[in-house]
Structures are given as C-alpha cells and as structure tokens.
Amino acid sequence: MIIKYKNGTFTDEDNFDYVIISDIDLDKNMAIQYFKKIEIEKLDLLIIKCRPDSIKIFSDFILKLSLSIKNKYLIGCVNIYSRKAYDFIKSNNDSLSGDRSNILNINIKLINNDFKVGYAKIDIKNKNRIGLKNYVALILKNGTILKYALIGVSGIAVNELILYYLYPHLGKVLSIIPAIEISIIYNFILNNRFTFKGKGMFLKRLGKYNFFNLVGYGVNLLIYYFAIFENVNIYVSDLMGILVAFVITYSTASLLVW
C-alpha cells in the first residue's frame, strides 16, 4: 500500500512531503504516528521492521555482511521516504514499487549516499520475502564476497610463488612465514582498493586485517589437525579448515576492518 502525506494530512497529489510504501495494512492513526516521527526527527528514510522470524534474521545478517553495511535494518515491512529521498530516487530512474527487492535496492542506495535513516519496530508478522533468486543476485552483483574470494584465490598464487623463490634460501620451516605475510599484505591492498574501497586509516586497517587473517590461519591448522586425528581424508580436512578460515576472515574484514 502507498500513502502520501503533506502538512499533517493525507493526500493523493504528487506534491507531498512524505510517502509510505508498506507490505502491511496500516490504519490512519498508525500512519500518522510514523509520519510525525520521520517529520520530527527530520529523517529521509524511516525503516519500520515487523516481527522477524529466524530465517529473516539470518538472511538479513548475511545481506548486511556481504554488502558491508552496518546499519540496523536495510528494509522494513513499512518504509517511509521524505520528498528529498523521493526526488533522489526519481533522479536515478528508480520507482517506489511494492516489490521488496526493488525497495531493498533503493534503501541501499539511500544508505550509501548518506541520507539520514531512522528505525522503528512494529509487532506484526510479515510473510513477504525477497525471492531467493533476487537475494542471491543482489549479493553477487552488489556484495563484496565474490571480489573477496577472487582476491583470496589470487593471494594463494602469490603465496605459492613467494614460497617457490624462498624455499631454496630459507628451507621448509622458515620460507612459509614471509610467504604467508606477503600474501596477506597483497590481499589487504587489493581488498582495500577494490572490494571495500577503504579511505584513510591504512596502517590501522592493515594491522587488524593481519591479525584476523593470522587467527584464520590458526583455526585452519587446528581444524586440519583435528580432522586428520579423526582419520578424515587430508584433502577434505584441509578444505574444511579453509572454508571455516574464509568465514572468519571475510566476516571480520566486512564487520571489523572496513
């Protein structure tokens, strides 16, 4: 449902101050309450979250993680936009349709362009969801996980190359240490430039990234040794360790480093 608001009353005209896009039916009193909230707090976007289920909580977390967005919510069952936000949406050739994937994309654009966002909750269950196909497409197209994984693969190649050149000089035990560190720095520089587009605090980010990657390597080794102790195939053991280490390094990079 779409409700427009101007000067304390509802309107059907295009000359409005705020507009609601809602998945649920709102009575007039509730709509007025939210319009007053966005007006008083001078917000551009008010995201009102319905009572979530466990699937939505998990999917929202993965979405925020993959998009490296730390906002409380990205989409609500009720979303209210100021005229300023609406004009920005129109200037980008977007429209406020009721499709949740479209609304989510619009909200992300507003968040990334530093529009003022507020949040509220409503104790109503909303069964509407973003389709799995659109959800995955959004993560792969706009998210950071694919870039992060590709850079990680290229980092393995750097690691192996450094190991190849240092092994004759440092031997088996010592050659791996600079190989690991150089590949971590290589990954950080590319992720900082292309994946997360970090600005400022280069050395601080590098220190945190280095620490969490070393933690990831440690967990990788622990899982590997535990698995082979339990007679799991060495290649399966290594893959298990790599996957868990990837989750740790990517999560910490997205949430804590950038």
Torsions phi, psi of 47, nearest 5? -100, 120
For residues 37 and 121, state if they share a domain.
yes
The domain containing residue 82 runs over which residues? Answer: 2-140
For residues 16 and 110, state if they share a domain.
yes
Give per-residue pLDDT as tens, 77-89. 999 999 999 999 9
**How far is CA 81 from each of CA 10, 99, 129, 195, 228, rounded to the nearest angstrom?**
14, 16, 20, 29, 56
Give per-residue pLDDT as tens, 24-67. 888 888 999 999 999 999 999 999 999 877 777 888 888 888 88
For residues 113 and 162, state if they share a domain.
no
Q: Domain boundary at 96, 111, 140, which?
A: 140
197 burial (CB, 10 Å; 0-12 / 13-18 / 19+) is exposed
What's the token pair of residue 19?
């507009």
For residues 165 and 211, state if they share a domain.
yes
Sign of CA dihedral 118, 123, 124, 130: positive
Q: What does pTM read for this prediction?
A: 0.74
Whichever domain contains 71, its CATH number is 3.90.550.10
The structural domain count of the chain equals 2
Q: Domain boundary at 140, 174, 206, which?
A: 140
What's the token pair of residue 155?
């980092």
Give per-residue pLDDT as tens, 138-183. 888 888 999 999 999 999 899 889 988 988 888 877 888 898 889 9
